[in-house]
């Protein structure tokens, strides 16, 4: 039966969503700690999980269409439609539970994604400000030993 395959695929997809959550949290830890050296690796891992999720979603859609066909529902039925049209109550409950868990996980992933984007914008802004402040410029020291930026050229002549 295709419903067994669909259930296995939904479990696999939920595992991938958990992995994506972990990778996004890992990325967030790198961002908040300032350890950006490994950020490109973390981002690449997030992208790899997203590719795997895309493939799993496609496989799920094909299997869901087969289940819908077996149950006499339209081939383009969503997971919610399948749960509502399930011939047996246990399958309806299982599909509803999968749908709720995946919806909740997706919401958490969206929050993490948005927070990480905010951290990245703040880090970029901070980097730009730091670079702007480190522009080379002539400096001299005042009578107290503090450095000061020269406004114009100064020339000292000891003989005057």
46 occurs within a structural domain: yes
132 occurs within a structural domain: no
93 occurs within a structural domain: yes
92 occurs within a structural domain: yes
153 occurs within a structural domain: no
Other CB atoms within 10 A of residue 159 CB: 3
Supply the pLDDT for residue 105.
98
Supply the pLDDT for residue 91.
96
Higher pLDDT among residues 131 and 160, named by residue: 131
Please state, in angstroms and rounded to a whole number, the distance separating the CA atoms of residues 112 and 105: 11
Q: Which domain holds residue 93?
A: 2-30+38-124
14 occurs within a structural domain: yes
Residue that is written with structure tokens 């480190």 in the block: 134
Q: How do residues 94-103 score in pLDDT, each as one tens digit?
A: 999 999 999 9
pLDDT at 74 over 70: yes
150 occurs within a structural domain: no
pLDDT at 149 over 60: no
Domains held by the chain: number? 1
120: enclosing H helix or E strand: helix 89-133
pLDDT category at 82 given cuts 50, 70, 90 is: very high
Supply the pLDDT for residue 34.
83
60 occurs within a structural domain: yes
Asked if 110 and 17 count as a contact pair (C-beta separation under 8 A), the reply is no
């Amino acid at each position: 039966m295709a419903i067994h395959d669909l259930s296995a695929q939904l479990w696999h997809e939920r595992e991938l969503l958990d992995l994506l959550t972990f990778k996004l949290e890992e990325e967030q830890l790198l961002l908040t700690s300032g350890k950006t050296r490994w950020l490109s690796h973390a981002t690449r891992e997030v992208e790899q999980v997203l590719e795997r999720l895309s493939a799993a979603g496609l496989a799920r859609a094909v299997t869901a269409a087969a289940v819908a066909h077996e149950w006499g529902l339209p081939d383009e039925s969503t997971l919610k439609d399948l749960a509502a049209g399930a011939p047996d109550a246990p399958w309806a409950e299982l599909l509803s539970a999968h749908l709720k868990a995946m919806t909740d996980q997706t919401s958490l992933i969206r929050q993490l994604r948005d927070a990480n984007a905010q951290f990245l914008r703040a880090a970029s802004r901070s980097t730009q400000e730091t670079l702007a402040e480190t522009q080379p410029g002539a400096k001299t020291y005042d009578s107290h030993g503090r450095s000061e930026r020269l406004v114009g050229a100064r020339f000292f002549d000891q003989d005057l």
